[in-house]
Amino acid sequence: MFRPRIPVNPSPAHLVPRLVEPTASTPAHDQLSSSCTCTHVGPVAPLPSRAPSSSIRLTGTGLACAVAGGTAVVLVVGTVLVSMLLAVAITGVSVTVCAVVLRSLLNSSRNQR
């Protein structure tokens, strides 16, 4: 059901020719008439040509969105890194305090004997 249906060429040796766009239209085909029996679809408008460019052009709104998105990413990543650093620092301080307390308890128990 969810598989794509790929058309199969029944004769792989036979190549299907490409459709050629008409360069000029004839006046008889430009007018809609019921007497026309051909399979002419109509003049095909050429696609607008775009020069290939390696740069991205942004509008003012697009630029503002890109700056806002970049700022948000930097703030979120910075917040996560700072919170991880604080978690490590707090853990280190608590382990140090526990070590000092245990050392003092062990030293006091040795001195009382």
At 64-80, the pLDDT tens digits run 999 999 999 999 999 99
pLDDT bracket for residue 108 (50, 70, 90): confident
pLDDT bracket for residue 94 (50, 70, 90): very high
Q: Kindly provide the b/e burial profile for residues 16-37, where b requires at least 16 CB atoms within 10 angstroms of the residue's own CB.
A: eeeeeeeeeeeeeeeeeeeeee
- pTM to 2 decimal places: 0.42
Contacts of 16 (CB under 8 A, 6+ apart): 9
CA-CA distance, 60 to 55, in Å (whole number)?
16
In this structure, are residues 28 and 43 in contact, taking their beta carbons and an 8 Å threshold? Answer: no
Q: Give CA separation, 49 vs 18, 25, 55, 58, 73, in Å.
A: 21, 21, 17, 19, 36
CA-CA distance, 27 to 25, in Å (whole number)?
7
Can you give the pLDDT at residue 14? 65
